[in-house]
């Protein structure tokens, strides 16, 4: 059986009413040939990620790993500058290996409910994630653009917390579909 590690912050970690993390639950229901390991920790930024990547990702020896950080790096009260964020993302990618890594950009927020982040700033972090993916030869999912392009994207961002950042089931359906489609694309290209 193949292994997929989902590595990230609260967006990866949240249960959103499920017994286990919702992202892992949704992926497990479709990706039958993968063991899904959820390594999300709420509140983490890329510095926290670097401290735990060996234990929470590398030691699992995954066939693929998703990396989804940026929401906390871009938060006004604990912001990590773009250059440091980029360097941290590069280190994360190379800890796993680019050909096994699917980088996911941070998602947008509902600015009417979220006062610690805005979409102008999050877009800058999303562009860094894309740049790191392109320059390091790993896979990329542009969650920021995908969600922002949806009609009434604020509805997608409505989760149990309803804070404009932590999205609900609709958001996780989109994220899970994007990951599943990317894995299918990788398999089709003969990457796994």
pLDDT of residue 99: 95
- Least Cα distance to 183 among 32, 31, 67 occurs for 31
pLDDT of residue 192: 44
Asked if 102 and 8 touch (Cβ cutoff 8 Å), the reply is: no
pLDDT of residue 111: 94
pLDDT of residue 188: 74
- Least Cα distance to 168 among 138, 147, 145 occurs for 147
Longest pairwise C-alpha distance within the chain: 44
Regions of the chain short of the pLDDT cut 50: 192
The domains of the chain, with CATH numbers, are 2-187 (3.40.50.1110)
Whole-number Cα distances in Å, 29 to 2, 38, 88, 144: 15, 14, 32, 24
Three-state secondary structure call for residue 67: strand
Q: Is the pTM higher than 0.75?
A: yes
- Least Cα distance to 8 among 34, 46, 36 occurs for 46
Range list of β-strands (E), 9-147: 34-40, 64-68, 101-104, 139-141
């Amino acid at each position: 059986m193949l292994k997929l590690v989902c590595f990230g912050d609260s967006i990866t970690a949240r249960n959103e009413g499920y017994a286990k993390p919702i992202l892992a639950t949704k992926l497990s229901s479709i990706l039958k040939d993968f063991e899904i390991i959820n390594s999300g920790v709420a509140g983490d930024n890329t510095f926290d990620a670097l401290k735990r990547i060996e234990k929470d990702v590398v030691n699992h020896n995954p066939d693929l790993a998703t990396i989804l950080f940026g929401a906390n790096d871009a938060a006004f009260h604990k912001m990590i500058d773009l250059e440091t964020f980029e360097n941290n993302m590069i280190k994360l990618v190379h800890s796993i290996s680019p050909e096994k890594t699917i980088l996911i950009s941070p998602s947008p927020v509902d600015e009417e409910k979220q006062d610690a982040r805005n979409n102008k700033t999050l877009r800058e972090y999303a562009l860094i994630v894309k740049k790191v993916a392109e320059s390091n030869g790993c896979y990329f999912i542009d969650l920021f653009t995908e969600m922002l392009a949806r009609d009434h994207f604020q509805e997608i961002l409505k989760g149990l917390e309803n804070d404009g950042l932590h999205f609900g089931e609709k958001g996780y359906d989109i994220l899970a579909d994007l990951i599943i489609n990317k894995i299918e694309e990788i398999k089709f290209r003969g990457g796994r």
